[in-house]
């Protein structure tokens, strides 16, 4: 049920169209045999309290999805790499992942990300809503 709710909110045509035009962001699709099998979305963020003129220092990956039929073929690695290459010159790359998504946690750890913290659910402060993962660009070849 949670996945279906998220899919409806985050992947509606209206939500996706709004992401495509955001400044300092990249939205990519992966296609195989004329069929979309993956998507990614990332955006630059400021992580420090500095003037607005300071360059963004974090590239945050908000979405990396690969259809199950296309998984385990390095497509996730290639799509994530292409996404971050379009947001260069940052000090860190960051993402959030739900603790129950063990496949994603293992994937990101293999890609060189380390757990940097946790976010709790505002409605239930004792419930972990997401693990925060980070890596330094260039740390994975």
Q: What is the pLDDT of residues 20-53, one digit of tens each?
A: 666 688 989 898 889 989 999 999 987 665 656 6
Report the pLDDT value the prediction gives residue 115, as an integer from 0 to 100: 96
Question: How many angstroms separate the CA atoms of 54 and 45, rounded?
Answer: 11
| 111 CB-near residues (< 8 Å, 6+ apart) | 77, 80, 135, 140
| 117 CB-near residues (< 8 Å, 6+ apart) | 131, 132
Question: How many angstroms separate the CA atoms of 99 and 24, rounded?
Answer: 28
Strand order of the sheet with strand 128-135?
A: 25-32, 35-45, 58-66, 92-97, 128-135, 114-120
Residues 80-100 have pLDDT tens digits of 999 999 998 899 999 999 999
Global confidence as pTM: 0.78
Residue 93's beta-bridge partner residues?
59, 135
């Amino acid at each position: 049920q949670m996945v279906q709710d998220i899919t409806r909110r985050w992947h509606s045509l209206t939500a996706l169209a709004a992401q495509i035009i955001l400044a300092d962001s990249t939205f990519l699709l992966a296609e195989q045999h004329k069929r979309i099998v993956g998507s990614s979305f990332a955006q630059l963020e400021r992580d420090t309290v500095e003037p607005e003129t300071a360059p963004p220092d974090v590239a945050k990956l908000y979405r990396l999805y690969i259809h199950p039929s296309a998984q385990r073929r390095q497509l996730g690695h290639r799509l994530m790499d292409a996404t971050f290459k379009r947001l260069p010159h940052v000090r860190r790359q960051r993402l959030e992942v739900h603790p129950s998504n063990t496949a994603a946690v293992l994937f990101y750890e293999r890609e060189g990300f380390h757990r940097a913290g946790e976010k709790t659910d505002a409605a239930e402060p004792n419930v972990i809503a997401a693990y925060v993962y980070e890596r330094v660009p260039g740390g994975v070849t």
